[in-house]
A and B are shown apart, each in its own frame.
Chain A
Amino acid sequence: GAGVSQSPSNKVTEKGKDVELRCDPISGHTALYWYRQSLGQGLEFLIYFQGNSAPDKSGLPSDRFSAERTGGSVSTLTIQRTQQEDSAVYLCASSLSYSPNQPQHFGDGTRLSIL
């Protein structure tokens, strides 16, 4: 389709395992963003990419979180040694260009549950 695609849509895993979440942005969108939404909370910004570069990683909750983007397209968010507090919906968005004035378009998210 033409929208942002995320996979898997749902992921259940045991505490301590590593997980990898994937985001395929809208074709031609150079900027890509990761957010998460915990139960009852608003969306929390994690990291953005301009092309393959992530200039600011300070929004990542801990050093167990990492993200990469290759070829200016698909991005993966990896969580190592998952903890129960990592349970949330992880949302990816993309925008046409790197600009605060460009609307971000979201995927449907990955619902991550840590047992």
Chain B
Amino acid sequence: DQQVKQNSPSLSVQEGRISILNCDYTNSMFDYFLWYKKYPAEGPTFLISISSIKDKNEDGRFTVFLNKSAKHLSLHIVPSQPGDSAVYFCAASGVYSGGGADGLTFGKGTHLIIQP
């Protein structure tokens, strides 16, 4: 059973517009959430994170929103740039994240394509 779900395998956005990537989770024990960006043949690169005690965290063009009651988080990228084209993974951790106390549980990713 997938505990972290990214329901959109791909998303196409025009350059300069806002990209919104969504993620849902089922395990209420998760208390820390992260977004990673991955280019082909490279490892995931950490982008931004948010603790469950917050509902928003901003870093430059990237903002992560957390809605705990809905078990939903989203990553906003604005304005979107061509270099943002990549696969974005949502990940979660907590004491009972499964497979060990500190192993991240990942979604399957969303392929973001920025159109010029």
Query: Which residues from chain A sit less than 8 Å from chain B, CB to CB?
Result: 4, 31, 33, 35, 40-48, 55-56, 58-59, 91, 93, 98-101, 103-109
Contacts and interface: CB of A to CB of B under 8 A. Distances in A.
B67 interface: no
B100 A100 contact: no
Given A41-B108, A100-B93, A101-B32, A47 B43 contact: no
Interface residues of B, number: 31
B44 A100 contact: no
Contacts, number: 83
Interface string B85-116: 00001010111011111111111110000000
Contacts of B12: none
Contacts of B44: 43, 91, 106
B43 A42 contact: no
A46 B99 contact: yes
14 contacts: A40-B108, A41-B108, A43-B106, A45-B99, A59-B103, A91-B43, A93-B43, A99-B102, A100-B31, A100-B94, A100-B97, A101-B93, A107-B43, A108-B41
Contact of A109 (B36, B43, B49, B98): B43
Contacts of A41: 108
Q: Which DSSP category, helix, strand, loop or mixed, fits chain A's interface?
A: loop
Interface in B32-70: 32, 34, 36, 41-46, 49, 51
A101 B108 contact: no
Given A45-B97, A109-B43, 7 more contacts: A40-B108, A42-B108, A48-B101, A91-B44, A101-B51, A104-B46, A107-B43
B30 to A, nearest CB: 9
A101 B46 CA distance: 13
B102 A48 contact: yes
A8 B95 CA distance: 32
B102 A31 contact: yes
A84 B104 CA distance: 25
Contacts of A35: 103-104, 106
